[in-house]
Amino acid sequence: MKKNLCILYVSFILLECFSQQIVKTSKNTNIYDHSFSIIETIEKNKKIQISRYLFEYLNNGKNEYDYYAELINKYEGLKIRANDLIPEITDDIFDADILTKPGNVYFIDDYFQGLKKRNINIIYDCYSTTVEKEKNDDDYRDWKECCTFYQNNTYITNIQFSFNNYFTIFDGEITNIQKDNDTYKLIVGHYYYSDHNQKAGIRNNELPNEGENFIFYLKVDGDYFSFYLPDNKTLIQTFIRTDEQTKREFEKFLKTGKYDESKITWPRHADSSCDYDSSKKY
């Protein structure tokens, strides 16, 4: 019995160690409790430990939403704004316009293709095999709801990224960023990838085994965020930034087959070109 308890205790300690991420502050910033009262203001470049798994999109009580990380150890249970954190040791950080802001939403290309062509089947065809396989399960959720259900778990910060579009999930803990023009080399401490999108360029088994210290490349082209394997050539997936109003029209389209195109923000490349709407230039 004592041996089993000892093993359990050691396992718990290991779990705690591997669930932590050491980061530092990029500016003077506040630590909050669960009611968003300021507990302490900490200085720039202070090292802190956060939970790898507790990122939340929260309302601070003033109807202002943002992403927050949960602190551990000395600041157990308190929260800090995620965009005020950077890796403990890093060569570079992301340009500010890359970081997720309140109201940012991320689609995949098939969502916009379905919208533009007013064809729901373009979207359904991404996941039809999985939907047909799982639709009789007790916990099945209608696929139309799932397309945007996970948006509050979708973000990119200097310390973590998480992209979720129905059966497409790509999460990673960033430990170093190296910038080269519009491309970022990401040293990722841990990552998780699962994609049941039948149109995806690669299959799950083509990625490195999940674990520590892998390299991925992120190329940013306007609203387009494309992740590549370590060869910097093989595309994993492209996530496309849009907004809440477009999300609402997309959800309306999934339910009714109709939407107001004047309320759609079509994504643009860095040169202002648009793959879906040639009538507007910025």
pLDDT tens for the chain, residues 1 to 282: 444 434 333 333 333 444 788 999 999 999 999 999 999 999 999 999 998 777 888 988 888 889 999 999 889 989 999 999 999 999 999 999 999 999 999 999 999 999 999 999 999 998 888 888 888 888 778 888 888 887 878 899 999 999 887 677 888 999 999 999 999 999 998 888 877 777 765 665 666 666 567 899 999 999 999 999 899 998 888 999 999 999 999 999 999 999 999 999 999 999 999 998 755 443
pTM: 0.85
Instruction: Please tell me the distance from the alpha carbon of residue 73 to that of residue 23, in angstroms, as a whole number.
Output: 13
What pLDDT is recorded for position 16? 43
